[in-house]
Amino acid sequence: MPEPEFPVDLLVVWGARVDSERGYRLEAIAVQLSDDIVSLRENGGLPHHVRTRITVLPRQRILEILVEGLSVETDPDRTTSREVMNTLFELASDHNIITLDAASPPLFTQRIMLVDHHGHPFAAKVGAGMGKLKPFMPR
């Protein structure tokens, strides 16, 4: 059996919307993600009463998405809350680059926190992302 063309440590999860022309700065990613969220809301992919706030923590390589407009009282089975978190997680994943080796950190970690009308967190999702594996060819 021939050896694979790329070793496993050169496989990455490369987001569908990673824009190498603009670079990989978290601030630029946050702007792009904000635009994506607006488009998603306009197309019915997010409830209109849900608001998001994106914060960039560059030294920690964290992209934090604070979500307001949901609560345990208005969503007792948390179906909408899970859908919103999963949708935002997938959307942010489209902008991430995640290596599958143990030595390289992802471009960023996303932290999605849902807060109630008092500003208290009641649900969260933290991780790097999801997507298809792609070979990475260093230049």
Position 20 scores a pLDDT of 58
Position 134 scores a pLDDT of 81
**What percent of the chain shows pLDDT beyond 70?**
86
Give Cα separations from 81 to 16, 51, 86, 95, 132 (angstroms): 24, 12, 9, 22, 25
Domain residues of the chain, as ranges? 8-132
Cα atoms in the Cβ-side hemisphere of radius 13 Å centred on 123 = 20
Position 121 scores a pLDDT of 96
pLDDT digits (tens, 9 = 90+) for 56-109: 999 999 999 999 999 999 988 999 999 999 999 999 999 998 888 877 889 999
Which has the closest alpha carbon to 12: 128, 136, 137?
136
pLDDT digits (tens, 9 = 90+) for 103-137: 788 999 999 999 999 999 999 999 999 988 887 76
Quickly state the pLDDT bin for 1 (edges 50, 70, 90): very low
* 117 within 8 A of 71, measured Cβ to Cβ: yes
Position 138 scores a pLDDT of 59
